[in-house]
Amino acid sequence: MRIRDILFQNGAVKRLDAINIIAFASHIGREEALANQHRELDGATAERAVRLIEERSRGKPLAYITQKKEFFSEELYVDERVLIPRPETELLVEEALGILGEGREKRQILDMGTGSGAIGVVVAKKTLREVLCVDISVEALSVARYNARRLNVLEKTRFLCSDLFDGLQKAAKFDVIMANLPYVAAEEWDGLMEDVKRFEPETALLGGKGGTEIYERFIDKLPGRLAGRGYVLCEVGGQKQAGLIGGGLRARGFSVVTRKDLSGIERVIIGKWTSSS
């Protein structure tokens, strides 16, 4: 079967997705698949491509099929054990890199809710500083560790399975804490895209009844976990959450700014710990 035959036979999946899947199944690049549509695929490869395209037509996200997602110009491995990194999370990484660029003294860095390692592993890669990556899911941590190995920053990263700060040493404090914790409210669940609900891990998305329960527990512990003049960066789901979490941080003595994503949604809260202790 030729590449073009598979493309013609498929009607349900976007052409670009189908090309990506064929390229993945044939172990070639997307451009090569696009440019060589008359190429004959061997039986096993063609069969695999057709089966994967069928999976896509049933809603499985492309990133889980091809087991990769580009994030901040790095290619990350992903599968159903982790949330697929979202483009809006790049804003948090950008802001964190800006803060880390201010001075070499910011050495203790934490990524809370690391998932695939999108934030922590990529920050370690870009800054060559050490990052502690924490997640409540052992399965997610093995994906994050695999990404650290792929990006050559295994020696710059550590991984810990913990419910927020519970598993950390009592005295551990950080200069920069980055967090993309679950923030979808239970009542918003039904409105999520089918692909997301059926395939992505619920524990990576659901933030309790109102969406901010996990963040509330998190910010409650922050004052004891940030070093003097440390920063926290949290990804949130819009104005209401930014108000709630930003308000919680202010009430604990942080100065707070928020950043909007490219769609104009309040997406990242940056809290600066004003205490010097």
Ligand X SMILES: C[S@@+](CC[C@H](N)C(=O)[O-])C[C@H]1O[C@@H](n2cnc3c(N)ncnc32)[C@H](O)[C@@H]1O
Q: Which residues bind ligand X (CB under 6 A)?
A: 83, 85, 89, 113-116, 118-119, 134-137, 140, 163-164, 180-182, 203-204, 214
Indicate the residue among 95 and 135 with the shorter CB distance to ligand X. Answer: 135
User: What is the DSSP code string of 136-176?
Assistant: S-HHHHHHHHHHHHHTT-GGGEEEEE-STTTTS-TT--EEE
Min separation Cβ 165 and ligand X, Å: 9
Which residues neighbour 273 within 8 Å (Cβ) at sequence distance 6 or greater?
Answer: 222, 223, 226, 227, 228, 229, 230, 231, 232, 253, 254
Indicate the residue among 33 and 183 with the shorter CB distance to ligand X. Answer: 183
Task: Please provide the distance, in angstroms rounded to a whole number, between the alpha carbons at the two ends of the chain.
Answer: 68
| Residues 52, 151: Cα–Cα separation, whole Å | 27
Indicate the residue among 6 and 133 with the shorter CB distance to ligand X. Answer: 133
Indicate the residue among 50 and 204 with the shorter CB distance to ligand X. Answer: 204
Min separation Cβ 168 and ligand X, Å: 11
Min separation Cβ 32 and ligand X, Å: 29
Task: Report the run of H or E that residue 51 belongs to, with start and end.
Answer: helix 43-57
Indicate the residue among 19 and 62 with the shorter CB distance to ligand X. Answer: 62
Indicate the residue among 5 and 130 with the shorter CB distance to ligand X. Answer: 130
Min separation Cβ 221 and ligand X, Å: 11
Min separation Cβ 11 and ligand X, Å: 32
Nearest residue to ligand X on Cβ basis: 115
Contact in structure between 113 and 162 (CB atoms under 8 Å): no
Min separation Cβ 230 and ligand X, Å: 19
Secondary structure of 177-229 in HEC code, one letter for each residue: EEECCCCECHHHHHHCCHHHHHHCCHHHCECCCCCCHHHHHHHHHHHHCEEEE
